Amino acid sequence: MNLTKKSLFFIVFLIIFVENSIIILADIEEKEHHSHQIIVINSLIAVIIAILVLFQESEDKNFHLKTRISVVLGLSCWFLANLTWAIYDIVLDVVPPEPSIGDALWLSAYVFLGFHLFVSFKKFRHRFNKKLIGVGVIIGSVYLTIMTYFTLSISSFENYRGISMFIVLLLYPLFASLLLIFSIILQVGLRKDTHHAVPWMFDSLATIAIVVADSWFVIVMVTNIVNEIWVASLFISAHYLIMVAGFLWYSRYLTHKTETSILYKCYNNIKKKRIMGIIGILIVLSISFYTLSNPLISINPQSPHHKHDKEIGSVYAPEDFKEIKLGALLPISGTLSSVGESDLVTLNIVTKDINEYLSDINSPYRIKILVEDTETNPYVALTKLKHLREKGVDIVIGPGSSSEIMRIKDYADQNGVMVISPASTAPSLAVVGDNIFRLIPDDTNQAKAISKKMWDDGIRVIVPLVRSDVYGNDILNFTRINFEELGGTVVDGIKYNPPIGQFAASLNRINYVYWGQELITLNSKVKELTLEYPLNQIGVYLVAFNEVVPILSQANSHPLLEKVLWYGNEATAKYKKIISNHKSSIFAVNSKYVAPLYGFNETNSKKLESFLESYDEYHTKTPIAFDGPYMYDAVWLATLTKIQTNNTNQIQVLKNAFFNISDSFTGITGPTILNEFGDRLYSSHDFWTVSENNKNETTIADRLEWIKVS
């Protein structure tokens, strides 16, 4: 069977479709890891095929060796770069430095591939007229000019990191534009040459794919579509397969196949088969490569990159049991993903404990919890609440943030859904008679505690860096009131739009560019205050979720910011990733980062200890979140409420029962007495900071730990 353009196009784009479908259809929290796997596999395949082509004979041996060796070297650099970035992301879970080894390898590949194109251009230059060359240069120049303009718009030059980041970001489109110029000239100039036109057509398509991929980072920054950063992976993975198609055509028509050629033997064995056989083999190989590489991210069975359970409940219930159906809105992905992952473990533990208790007392009831991921996105939270309501759920545990509560509040009030939040704290959500109940005290308490802590530490002026949502605005307003009553000053700081999506708080390089802009402004404000206040009287007040890690990691680029004290909020206290990331851990130690956390009334300390032991036995690498014990108590209260009301769906009956039960219930967090707003009445605070322990460990992460300071 002859290898035709049509069949080659069909096969390669079918494989591209299959592979990219894996990325597109994956859960948002899995896309980045799947992308790394597929790109590493495809780049390795491209290197192998390029090496096989290299060992074939050609009429023009000198030209063949020059171009094929340069292609092999270039693709090898790309493969090593992809492997390096996969290790950074999957194994080390850190953002690559600027520039990184991966950058050096990737940019080196452009040099080798550029040489390949230049030698090809020289060989066929007699076929190109000046007009064609001029058009190629103009297209490449226009592309480079546009990318330079946008790169300048997102860059800063106030420190070494900003300058190095600008250089790295600009080198990618610069080298890509050179490849684009040569590819256009060669493709158009050789379009009438039947055999040469096809590999150059694939080469041009591959170049365009890599140009789009290299430009995507800047496009995302300019348009602020951070959650779509993964789209670049589709073009990169396709790029290698398109190049492979070009190699196969080159091998078939532009080289001599000898009996000793491995590729020739493979071709001879395959060409007798039907086209569907070829397609089947290629698809099986693609899936097999993907499956074999999957252990990279599958070592931990409780890894957050695995899909979460949609339902949590008893399997061994009596035949005539009465099911209590509860809902849970968890931020399993997004900027509170660490909380959501922990809460998922807590739900499994509490559901097991409750169903075992109900079985022991011969109760006919068993509970089942329907879980939905809100992605820490208020709009998604509302959609997921509607899904739960359609399934007959009338008591929902969660969601994780006050912004989500605010978004779902009207729907819950109007549709008879009782919401029990273990994490929302915004004071503005304290409303008499609504359907929102909160098992954690509102932020009037936290604001008072953090204000006193800062004042006692000698801070006399605060520079805020806070989320501009209901949670951030509320806690800042009450902190301002309390701190100014003590005699201090709160200047106009920085309010940032809360990032949304899985990649918004990740260690992707894009977040370091984004936070670099905000931190330049923060550094400028602190510098101005040093004209009026000594450094030991200036404090930075950070109100954040998981984005705290890229913020602290980037802050170490500004030496002045390490010389003032930093204070955080309860969502960042004891957050493990602060100390597991090298740069953020160093900054947290140098800035003496302190964050408050609600303390437990340990009346039922044995029950709390039992829960913590169960959590540790769950074999998860996700540390327990600050709201975990409150989540545990929330499910117990919801269950007791449903049992006492005979599993009714009448909202007012449920609310009245919940108030009565919470007044007498003592959970693992202590007494759960509520105020008139349905929020927890009593609270206390502990303060936590990052400090070195006495362990003689080799890594900074192992030498650091969160310790209670008060």
Query: CA-CA distance, 311 to 506, in Å (whole number)?
Result: 27
Percent of the chain with pLDDT strictly greater than 70: 80
Mean pLDDT of 295-315: 48
- Band of pLDDT at residue 120, cut at 50, 70 and 90: confident
29 — phi, psi (to 5°)?
-75, -10
Give the integer Cα–Cα distance in Å for 400 and 331: 6
pLDDT digits (tens, 9 = 90+) for 134-166: 888 888 888 888 888 877 776 767 666 677 777
Reported residue count of the chain is: 710
What pLDDT band is residue 345 in, cutting at 50, 70 and 90?
very high
Longest dimension (CA), the chain: 92
Report helix, strand and coil shares of the chain as percent, to nearest 5.
60, 10, 30
Q: Evaluate whether 56 touches 263 at the Cβ level (below 8 Å).
A: yes
Give 46-75 pLDDT, tens digit per residue.
898 888 888 776 666 777 788 888 889 999
DSSP letter (8 states) at residue 135: H
What pairing do the DSSP bridges indicate for beta strands 685-692 and 594-598?
A: antiparallel
Tell me how far apart the alpha carbons of residues 461 and 489 are, in angstroms, rounded to a whole number.
Answer: 5
Query: What's the pTM value of the predicted model, to 2 decimals?
Result: 0.71
> Where would I find the H helices in 224-274?
231-253, 262-271
Quote the CA–CA distance of 264 and 655 in Å, as a whole number: 76
pLDDT of residue 141: 86
- Number of other residues whose CB lies within 10 A of the CB of residue 130: 7
The residues near 477 (Cβ < 8 Å, ≥ 6 apart) are none
| pLDDT score of 653 | 96
| Lowest-pLDDT range of 280-289, 397-406, 467-476 | 280-289
Give the per-residue pLDDT at 325: 93
Across the range 469-482, mean pLDDT stands at: 94
- CA 594 to centroid of chain Cα atoms: 25
| Residue entry with tokens 């040569």 | 182
**Residue 587 near residue 312 (C-beta atoms within 8 A):** no
Query: What is the rounded average pLDDT for all residues in the chain?
Result: 81
Range with the largest mean pLDDT of 289-293, 334-338, 537-541: 537-541
pLDDT average, residue stretch 274-283: 49
* Cβ proximity of 333 and 308 under 8 Å: no
